[in-house]
Amino acid sequence: MKNIFLLIALSAAFGLAAQTGFQGKSTDTKSKVKDPNRSYNQNYIVKNNEAFYKFGEDSLYKHIYNELYATPEFLANSKDGHVLISFEVNYDTKVINSTVIEGIDNDVDAAVKRIITGIKEFVPAQQNGIDYRSEIIMDIPIKAR
């Protein structure tokens, strides 16, 4: 019986010592925290726009194909397949950190990477009007000529 009382006393002592020590004031109310000019009963809309090519997706593929089919790397290694490439569109519209995930040939992959990195007509992603960096993954089908 004495052991039970001892355990209860010790657990109460440790429980009291574990308190944070924060003492709230009786004058603290929600009215001090709330903004009187804001309605808390409505949902606010967050506008989020993904990064995109300024002239449209069809024009982007046309630009890639026009430059790719004129390169000697592609003409030397003309194979069917696709190139899966990942790149980031920075908030200043530059393409950075391009990586070929899956490709056809090292020469063709390097040519596609060079073409993508040289594109300057991307519109960066935006959230509530603020530009930010975002990642795009493109699958570019390639047909031999």
- What is the domain-level CATH number for residue 57? 3.30.1150
Residues 125/51, Cβ–Cβ less than 8 Å? yes
Assigned domain for 21 exists? no
Tokens of 145: 């000529």
Assigned domain for 81 exists? yes
Assigned domain for 98 exists? yes
pTM score: 0.62
Residues 77/69, Cβ–Cβ less than 8 Å? no
Amino acid at 87: F
Q: How many domains does the chain have?
A: 1
Assigned domain for 11 exists? no
Residues 97/87, Cβ–Cβ less than 8 Å? yes
Assigned domain for 120 exists? yes
Residues 85/101, Cβ–Cβ less than 8 Å? yes
Q: Please give the Cα distance from 28 to 97 (Å, whole number).
A: 50
Assigned domain for 134 exists? yes
Assigned domain for 119 exists? yes
Tokens of 10: 């010790």
List per-residue pLDDT tens for the chain, 145 residues long: 666 666 666 666 555 555 555 555 555 555 555 666 766 666 667 778 888 888 988 999 999 888 888 777 666 666 788 889 999 998 888 899 999 999 887 888 888 899 999 988 888 888 888 888 889 999 988 887 6
- Residue 56: give the domain boundaries: 48-142
Assigned domain for 10 exists? no
